[in-house]
Amino acid sequence: MGNLEKIFGNSAQTIVLENLLEKRGEFTYLSGIAEETGLSHSSVARVIEPLVKNDIVTEKRLGKQIRTFAMNEKNSMAKLIIKFYDELASLPDGNKFSE
């Protein structure tokens, strides 16, 4: 269970967001996100749309059907999320949020 999931709960969007935060700087396939997170392809597709719509995640299409995604590190909201995620990860183990 990731740090964001511990705090914000087990939602598909939180799980997808944390996956993209961990892979910052690289584009990843929708199918890859689904496989790595254990979520269904349709769940990932559904919860990633608001992140793309709000420009927190960038979508890059390869051909007509292949969609890839990455954190938009230039977006101000995404920068805040990244900063929070990094600061949370840097806390000593004793200060981390526990279940």
**Domain 3-92 -> CATH class:** mainly alpha
- Domain range annotation of the chain: 3-92
Strand 28-29 relative to strand 57-62: parallel, antiparallel, unpaired? Answer: unpaired
Tens digit of each residue's pLDDT (9 = 90 or more) over 55-86: 999 999 988 888 999 999 999 999 999 999 99
Measured distance CA(71)–CA(21) in Å, rounded: 7
- The pTM of the whole model exceeds 0.75: yes
Q: Give, for 60, the enclosing helix (H) or strand (E).
A: strand 57-62
Query: In the structure encoding, which two tokens stand for residue 34, read together?
Result: 């689904």
> What does the pLDDT average to over 20-25?
94
Q: pLDDT band at 6, cuts 50/70/90?
A: low
